[in-house]
Amino acid sequence: MARLALTLVIIGALNWLLVGLFEWDLVAALFGGDSHRVSSGVSRVVYSLVGIAGLYCIRFYVDDNAVAK
């Protein structure tokens, strides 16, 4: 269950990274909705930081102590 939660968090964070860098929402593009988001500069920085944190979290898949199996 912990790995499923980690996977969903990483997917969400990577989506925010795409919004922050390119103003493009992958989830909305895949499942319907407006995939282009217009955001302020500050919010794009925050979205990008969340996305970078998601990239960092990928390492928890190989760290046996970080996520319960």
Domain ranges of the chain: 2-61
Distance between CA atoms of residues 46 and 55, nearest Å: 14
CA neighbor of 21 nearest in space, from 1, 57, 51 = 51
57 burial via Cβ count (<10 Å: 0-12, 13-18, 19+): middle
Would you state the pLDDT for residue 57?
93
Q: What is d(CA 23, CA 35) in angstroms, rounded to the nearest whole number?
A: 8
State the pTM of this model.
0.80
* pLDDT 10s digits, 30-62: 898 888 878 898 999 999 999 999 999 999 988
